[in-house]
Structure 1
Amino acid sequence: MWFWLIEEIEALRYFLGLGGEVLVALFFLTLMMWALLLERWLYFRTVYPQQVKETRSLWLARGDHHSWSAKQIRRELVSRVAMAVNKGMPIIKVLIALCPLMGLLGTVVGMVQVFDTLAITGTGSPRAMASGISKATVPTMAGMVAALSGLFFVNRLDHRAKLAVEKLEDSLKHG
């Protein structure tokens, strides 16, 4: 029953071993990025609809909708929702930007290992250099894959956030 889980954990350990310490750091960075992306997705599914209902009821409870102060109150209500909708997005974008940089760091660390092997063995023994080349290429690939996948989803969430704020603003103007 749990055999498949053990196999997956072993495959992950093997993969992380190929890229060295930098790949382990990249793994945790990517895990944090996806946890924040999942949190934002869950926010839009669960919290946001309730927040919109509360904001609309606050606005509709007001008798005055056309004065200068009413417009300022509407702007403040929309601003509160916009802040909640965009919460955590800058952090996610920074984590996405860090992924390829961590991969590049892995490339540098792996190439240093290759040069150390060349300095010790003197000749270019492919068997001796294989570990360093692996540590140079695997983190780069993993960093790019993590960044591209995160970039796709953060752009979708960003677009959804902008549309949500615009819809709320329009509904309060006409409601």
Structure 2
Amino acid sequence: MMLYLMDIWDSVRGFMASGGDVLWLVAAVLFLMWVLMLERFWYLNLIAPKEHQGIITAWSEREDSTSWHAHRIREAWVSQAKQDMNARMLIIKTLVAICPMIGLLGTVTGMIQVFDVMAVHGTSNARMMAAGISMATMPTMAGMVAALSGVFFSTRLDAKMKISMEKLKDSLPHH
């Protein structure tokens, strides 16, 4: 088991080395994005239902649910629930959007290295240029994969939040 983990670590370290320093930045952004998305999934599945049930209970215990003031209170509670649910979603969407840009930064730095090798050693040394080309392509690929995973799961998270909010609104009848 320990040997297997060492092999995995060596593979990850080799991949990160082939992509250069920008690949570590992509990994950090990806880690932060996934921590925030997992927190939102946790909130949506465990915390929000309890909060929504509290709102529904408070609404059903009200004697007045038809006046203008009651409607404003309902709107305020729904708005607060929506605000709590959408917390950190803007950060998640921003991280998703910058992943490909960070990957392109890796492309630029890798190509600079290729041009540097070409300037020092000429265009005939393909082995030396290969390291720069690897540093140009690996972060781009990693940034796109990170962005795709973020787009897929943040879209699912958004849809689940909208459904949850609609259920809350439907559970608060107003006449």
TM-score by length of 2: 0.96
In the alignment, which residue of structure 1 is the partner of 2:59? 59
* Helix, strand or coil at the partner of 2:24: helix
The 1-side partners of 2:91 and 2:138 are apart by 25
RMSD: 1.3
TM-score by length of 1: 0.96
The 1-side partners of 2:123 and 2:68 are apart by 80
Q: How does 1:27-46 map to 2 (within 5 A)?
A: 27-46=27-46
In the alignment, which residue of structure 2 is the partner of 1:123? 123
Q: How does 1:67-146 map to 2 (within 5 A)?
A: 67-146=67-146
Deviations 1:25-82 (A, max 9, x none): 1101100001111111111121011111111111111111100000000001111110
What residue identity is the alignment partner of 1:126? A
The 2-side partners of 1:84 and 1:17 are apart by 40
The 1-side partners of 2:34 and 2:141 are apart by 18
Percent identity reads 47
Structure 1: give runs of 5+ residues left out of the alignment.
none
The 1-side partners of 2:43 and 2:77 are apart by 18
Deviations 1:72-98 (A, max 9, x none): 000011111101111110000000011
* Helix, strand or coil at the partner of 1:172: coil
In the alignment, which residue of structure 1 is the partner of 2:170? 170
In the alignment, which residue of structure 1 is the partner of 2:50? 50
Is 1:20 the counterpart of 2:26? The answer is no
1:138 offset after TM fit, Å?
0.3
The 2-side partners of 1:166 and 1:110 are apart by 48
For the 8 Å contact 2:41–2:157, the answer to whether it is kept is yes
1:128 offset after TM fit, Å?
1.0
1:167 offset after TM fit, Å?
1.4
**Which deviates further from its counterpart, 6-15 or 70-79?**
6-15
The 1-side partners of 2:2 and 2:45 are apart by 31
The 2-side partners of 1:31 and 1:75 are apart by 36
Number of corresponding residues: 175
What residue identity is the alignment partner of 2:137? T
What residue identity is the alignment partner of 1:31? F
The 1-side partners of 2:155 and 2:90 are apart by 12
1:173 offset after TM fit, Å?
1.9
* Helix, strand or coil at the partner of 1:173: coil
